[in-house]
Structure 1
Amino acid sequence: MKNSLRVLVNFPFVLLAYLLFATSLSAGETFDLDGGGLWSRWDSATGRLLALEYHRPDNRRGTNYAFFDKSQGAGGLEIYDELEKVLYSDRRTPCRVSGLSTSRFASLQKVEFTKHFEGAPFAIQVTLTADASGIRIDTRTVLEQLPDLRWPAKRNVRVSFVLPAKASLLGWAPAYPEPARITEKPVRYCYGIQEPGLPRTGIPMYTLYEPGGAGMSLLMPLDQPKVQLNLGPEPEDPRGLYVGMKLEEPNAEAGLEYLTEPAKLVPSEIRVVRLTELFVGLAADRPLPFTLRLISHAPHWRPALGKVSELYPEYFSLSPRMRSIWNSRLGANVHLTDQQLAGWQEFGAASAWLHTHFHRHGEFIPPEAINDPDYTFFCEPYAKEYPDNTVRKNRLVIDRLCDNGQAVFLYGFNMHCDTVTVAQRGLFADLTRNIDGSITRSYHDQPVMFFNPASPYGSHLLRQMDLMQKVYPRIMGIALDNWAYGGIDFSHDDGITMFGHSQAASVNFSQQRMIGAIADKWHSTGRLVMVNKARTIESLKGADSMLSEASGAEIFAMFAYMCLNRHLHANEYDAATDAKYAEYTLKYSLEWGGQIGHGQTEADPEMTRHYYALLQALRNRTWVFDPDPLSLPEGTTGNIWRISPDSPWNPGDIVATVVRPKVNLADNNFREGLKVKVRLPEIRRITGASWLGAEQYGKPPIACRMEKKDGELIVSLPKVGAAGVLRLILE
């Protein structure tokens, strides 16, 4: 009786709350969503996006900023049916909405409806949410049963969010090249597997901004599985870009081959901006999720990185213990020499990636060696070079490195597994296959695996890591090799991937699903995780350091954006034999916040010493997310950093790097009269500035003249040679 009375008493309030916060709209009406500075208007009859604006909280300049004009048409969703070759678009396909409802609680707004494109074999369940972080679009596309109760055939689709392309906007994804006006220098990016001619990003985000206006980023949530993305400006009809593709076998450099050449991007034909997911599809029992966040920020690319790292800090953070060993990283194998150790000490190697200690890929410690440290085993596939490893010998190597000042990261992971290990440990269920049914093979002709912490190979690797910690107690952490695997596996179904209208699996999901368990295992014992390159930011959640076993500044820049405040270093083999190339790698390390890595000290140690002195200033550097904080002299490149306040070296400093890409140290070529302009909140606290040029090795920094004017700090540099570091001194 008491419960019945409570229901009767509460009923009017529940009814009032429903009437206030949950309503239905009639056809022809519109509804508004606003959150995180973004305001949007949607058509209730079609679910199309009619307007999208940034609303300034203080109404500064008296106006808001529109990201597209009404004259350019609508925005919203698109689906390209790859089986029937039909494009369904909110910009031009008739559509209707059913079951639309809206609700609001405090600042949280939610709108739900189902979208039906005319003639489409599917329906799209849509949930729009607005809160303090921005606007979120969640969709779930489902095939609809036919009148005769059959189901349409399964099919690949491309799902897009599309916006009209405003001519004044600059576009950018976290990769090369620099931002450019989308209707003048249009650039499409890819995420996932490398596509020919497209710059690749590891962060699923595309940024639009107008200098002096406003900025906004389209971001696929990092905790949402995604396979392959295209991002950027496109023509109204994208089908000229949608060509057939041939897959390379999964590996750390996985790429695609176009079967026919796609249409060229013509600036005058750019009409829209799209974020498109491909290599996904629909089946009767397989709804397809697609989620996008719209987030506003200051009009520059730097605040976009700040926003994504603020929304998903766990994907960009590192263990505090890494701060104390932030310096050069050099590679080692079990055949150490005194000369190597002396060289590493000179160049401040604080960590070493130890290779060739293991037995087989996948079986790093043979079971016989666990209780017998003198049990002899070869290192496959390098049995000729390393025929007589033992646990005791490996411990002595680890001791020598530790006593020389290097924290040891033990090589202990790969995506391929030795065939003998597969057979001995019963790992057949995790083998990957090509589209023709053959087993996928990679380095050393070993099978590639698809796995997770609970699968045979995944759980086996985690047990191997337990053994590493037990058998080699002095190691600082684990070294995860080839952490950039991409490609498609046709022997598993991950619930989202499709290729050629067949269900499949994205190989990179293995690393995305393993990293959490690996990081927890090593961090829980106070140890660290180092990876060799990476393909996606989702696979870096829990990593502390990255080496870039890849060629060129462009891919190093992409890794720098993915790492942000993580430790990063180059690993270029050509640098070991070509002094000019080594200097090129040292320069891009200076520009992008790297440290010395394998190969950079060998071809010309004297030249490297000059750059090593500069790189020391960047230890524990953190990214600056303030908009447009730095102007460099023409003909130079560089960056600006804040040194972490918990760094053992120069905490809280502000450091800018200046690099002349076409000038080498040996040229003895100097320019005078160069100025650097800095725009940061700390300007009022800056009391001095000093410059250390590459040519000044062994000499003290030079004090610089500076002035503060109209919110800028203008620093006059002494003569500038190949490169240098400007340090700003705070009170």
Structure 2
Amino acid sequence: SHYVTDEMLTDPDQRVTCKPHPQHTISLNYNRQWIRKFKAAGIAPFIYYYNCHALPATIERLWPGAAFRDERGRPLLKWYTEPSVYGPPGSPFAKNMIRQMDVMLQAYPELPGFFVDNFGIEMVSFAHDDGVTTIHGRPGYDLNRNHQGIGPAVFEKAHQAGRMIMINKLATIESARGADMVLTEGMSLESVRAHALACVYRPVFPLGMRVGGGTDHIERCCQNLLLVGGTPEWGFYRTDRDTMKAYRPLTDAMIGKRWVLDHPDPLTVPPGYEGQIFRIDPNAAHGDDVVVALADLGRSWKQGRLTEGLTVKVRLGEAPQLKTATWLTVERSAGQPLPCKLTLGGTELTIALPPAGAAGILRLSK
């Protein structure tokens, strides 16, 4: 890929070749055209931005000596032939990346946001010193210093211009600072869970997620995403459209979710079910609601098997303000949520559920 130059801003029809796709040339106007097409179709396109690596020739030409090196002095490659680049605040590489955000905002005034890759790669350069990192008695530079230093400075510029930031994976919770949402690409269920907690106030989007090796793995993914407040990927539709259509009304309840961390024991779920409780951000649809996700990880919605007489208990300071409750089970998700009976005892609510199946969403509203 290419950095945006002043010449491109002056002549937005200037065409360049992207190395991974040499059969095509692109220009600023070419990209602007596709941004408008996507937006007209109701899709918010994000442009790929902010690599922590570059071609060796680019590094030596623009930032000599900035390439990451291992203990033997060999280049530390982050992407094929491209080494990572030393970039703490104030360094030549950091200044370049910050300037790139300025020119990208000029180049693409209609762009909704940026996709920022490779935040989950951990690497230490022995050619540089961050003043903290030491391995085998030798000083080093932790790549997360790039994320935690340049990242927020760049993201703030995007936010001031009304753009959003999605980052790909995390190595540390600190490196999420300034990000609006997080992609978890190609991760195990355990890693998705860890990222979901790090994304406590952010949407999390697994990509390439797989749970189990059976034919029901799309349903197991959807159930586990409910339990961590995640959003399913479009690829689920290609594999099992019916299951995705059944679960989509449930996973949509995660929009604006916030983990409940201010009560030591806020939720009791029925035997055989796993559950999680969330608050919904006041600025989201259904703002200030409380949402409880339930899933029976050994059951499938395709069985059509429902259980009656189940109850859920919710303990929150705002429990007396929660006046209505509805239940939507995945087996009947094409219909309307059903009302539930509420019983209040102090700050504990007991909710009698309508028939429940493989998964469901309990919504409490003021």
- Asked if TM exceeds 0.5, the reply is yes
Match of 1:589 in 2: 225
Q: Does the CA contact (< 8 Å) of 1:673 and 1:717 recur in 2? A: yes
SS at match of 1:434: coil
- Aligned partner of 2:65 among 429, 440, 454: 429
Q: Does the CA contact (< 8 Å) of 2:327 and 2:361 recur in 1? A: yes
SS at match of 1:479: strand
- Aligned partner of 1:698 among 334, 356, 363: 334
Summarize the alignment of residues 440-589 of structure 1 with structure 2, pairs less than 5 Å apart.
Answer: 440-572=76-208, 580-589=216-225
1:508-530: per-residue Cα shift (whole Å, max 9, x none)? 11111112211221122222221
Q: Tell me: CA distance 1:443–1:582, structure 2 relative to 1, closer, same or farther (3 Å).
A: farther
1:246-265: per-residue Cα shift (whole Å, max 9, x none)? xxxxxxxxxxxxxxxxxxxx
1:665-707: per-residue Cα shift (whole Å, max 9, x none)? 2233333332111111222223332110111122011122332
Match of 1:399 in 2: 36
Q: Which amino acid aligns with 2:246?
A: H
Q: Which amino acid aligns with 1:638?
A: G
Whole-angstrom CA distance in 1 between matches of 2:154 and 2:257: 26
Q: Does the CA contact (< 8 Å) of 2:59 and 2:66 recur in 1? A: no
Q: Which amino acid aligns with 1:377?
A: V
Q: Which amino acid aligns with 1:411?
A: Y
Q: Tell me: CA distance 1:573–1:658, structure 2 relative to 1, closer, same or farther (3 Å).
A: closer
Q: Tell me: CA distance 1:578–1:399, structure 2 relative to 1, closer, same or farther (3 Å).
A: farther
**Pair 1:607-2:246 in alignment:** no
Q: Which amino acid aligns with 2:121?
A: Y
Q: Does the CA contact (< 8 Å) of 1:642 and 1:655 recur in 2? A: yes
Q: Tell me: CA distance 1:574–1:659, structure 2 relative to 1, closer, same or farther (3 Å).
A: closer
**Pair 1:380-2:19 in alignment:** yes
Q: Which amino acid aligns with 1:700?
A: Q
Q: Which amino acid aligns with 2:11?
A: D
Instruction: Give the C-alpha shift of residue 613 in structure 1.
Output: 0.6
Summarize the alignment of residues 144-543 of structure 1 with structure 2, pairs less than 5 Å apart.
Answer: 360=1, 363-365=2-4, 368-384=7-23, 387-423=24-60, 425-543=61-179
SS at match of 2:46: strand
SS at match of 1:485: coil
**Pair 1:669-2:305 in alignment:** yes
SS at match of 2:87: coil
**Pair 1:641-2:284 in alignment:** no
**Pair 1:718-2:357 in alignment:** no
**Pair 1:628-2:265 in alignment:** yes
Match of 1:298 in 2: none
Whole-angstrom CA distance in 1 between matches of 2:115 and 2:350: 43
Q: Does the CA contact (< 8 Å) of 1:678 and 1:714 recur in 2? A: yes
Whole-angstrom CA distance in 1 between matches of 2:90 and 2:234: 35
1:481-507: per-residue Cα shift (whole Å, max 9, x none)? 011121221000111111111111112
Unpaired segments of 5 or more residues in structure 1? 1-359
Q: Tell me: CA distance 1:413–1:716, structure 2 relative to 1, closer, same or farther (3 Å).
A: same
SS at match of 2:230: coil
Q: Does the CA contact (< 8 Å) of 1:414 and 1:480 recur in 2? A: yes
Whole-angstrom CA distance in 1 between matches of 2:202 and 2:221: 19
Q: Does the CA contact (< 8 Å) of 2:327 and 2:339 recur in 1? A: yes
* Runs of 4 or more above 4 Å deviation: none
Whole-angstrom CA distance in 2 between matches of 1:584 and 1:418: 41
Q: Does the CA contact (< 8 Å) of 1:630 and 1:679 recur in 2? A: yes
Instruction: Give the C-alpha shift of residue 573 in structure 1.
Output: 6.1
Instruction: Give the C-alpha shift of residue 369 in structure 1.
Output: 3.1
Q: Does the CA contact (< 8 Å) of 2:210 and 2:221 recur in 1? A: no
Whole-angstrom CA distance in 2 between matches of 1:634 and 1:555: 26
Give the alignment's TM-score, normalised by structure 2.
Answer: 0.92
Q: Tell me: CA distance 1:374–1:714, structure 2 relative to 1, closer, same or farther (3 Å).
A: same
Q: Tell me: CA distance 1:364–1:598, structure 2 relative to 1, closer, same or farther (3 Å).
A: farther
Q: Which amino acid aligns with 1:636?
A: Y
Whole-angstrom CA distance in 1 between matches of 2:210 and 2:242: 17
Q: Tell me: CA distance 1:637–1:516, structure 2 relative to 1, closer, same or farther (3 Å).
A: same
SS at match of 1:442: strand
Unpaired segments of 5 or more residues in structure 2? none
Identity %: 31
Q: Which amino acid aligns with 1:523?
A: H
Instruction: Give the C-alpha shift of residue 540 in structure 1.
Output: 1.5
Q: Tell me: CA distance 1:573–1:618, structure 2 relative to 1, closer, same or farther (3 Å).
A: closer
Q: Which amino acid aligns with 2:149?
A: R
SS at match of 2:167: strand
Q: Does the CA contact (< 8 Å) of 1:655 and 1:726 recur in 2? A: yes
1:577-625: per-residue Cα shift (whole Å, max 9, x none)? 9963332222222111122335233212222122111122221122212
Q: Tell me: CA distance 1:370–1:564, structure 2 relative to 1, closer, same or farther (3 Å).
A: same
SS at match of 2:239: coil
Q: Does the CA contact (< 8 Å) of 1:429 and 1:456 recur in 2? A: no
Whole-angstrom CA distance in 2 between matches of 1:467 and 1:448: 22
Q: Does the CA contact (< 8 Å) of 2:112 and 2:163 recur in 1? A: yes
More helix by share: 2
Instruction: Give the C-alpha shift of residue 472 in structure 1.
Output: 0.9
Match of 1:680 in 2: 316
Instruction: Give the C-alpha shift of residue 459 in structure 1.
Output: 1.5
Summarize the alignment of residues 11-22 of structure 1 with structure 2, pairs less than 5 Å apart.
Answer: none
SS at match of 1:656: strand
Match of 1:216 in 2: none
Q: Does the CA contact (< 8 Å) of 2:68 and 2:86 recur in 1? A: yes
> Max radius of gyration: which structure?
1
Instruction: Give the C-alpha shift of residue 629 in structure 1.
Output: 0.6
Whole-angstrom CA distance in 1 between matches of 2:283 and 2:143: 37
SS at match of 1:382: coil
Q: Tell me: CA distance 1:517–1:579, structure 2 relative to 1, closer, same or farther (3 Å).
A: farther
Instruction: Give the C-alpha shift of residue 567 in structure 1.
Output: 2.0
Over the aligned positions, Cα root-mean-square deviation in angstroms equals: 2.2
Q: Does the CA contact (< 8 Å) of 1:570 and 1:585 recur in 2? A: no
Q: Does the CA contact (< 8 Å) of 1:591 and 1:659 recur in 2? A: yes
Q: Tell me: CA distance 1:708–1:574, structure 2 relative to 1, closer, same or farther (3 Å).
A: closer
Summarize the alignment of residues 4-153 of structure 1 with structure 2, pairs less than 5 Å apart.
Answer: none
Report the number of matched residues. 364
1:635-672: per-residue Cα shift (whole Å, max 9, x none)? 2212111112222x111111100011122222333333
SS at match of 1:708: strand
SS at match of 2:65: helix
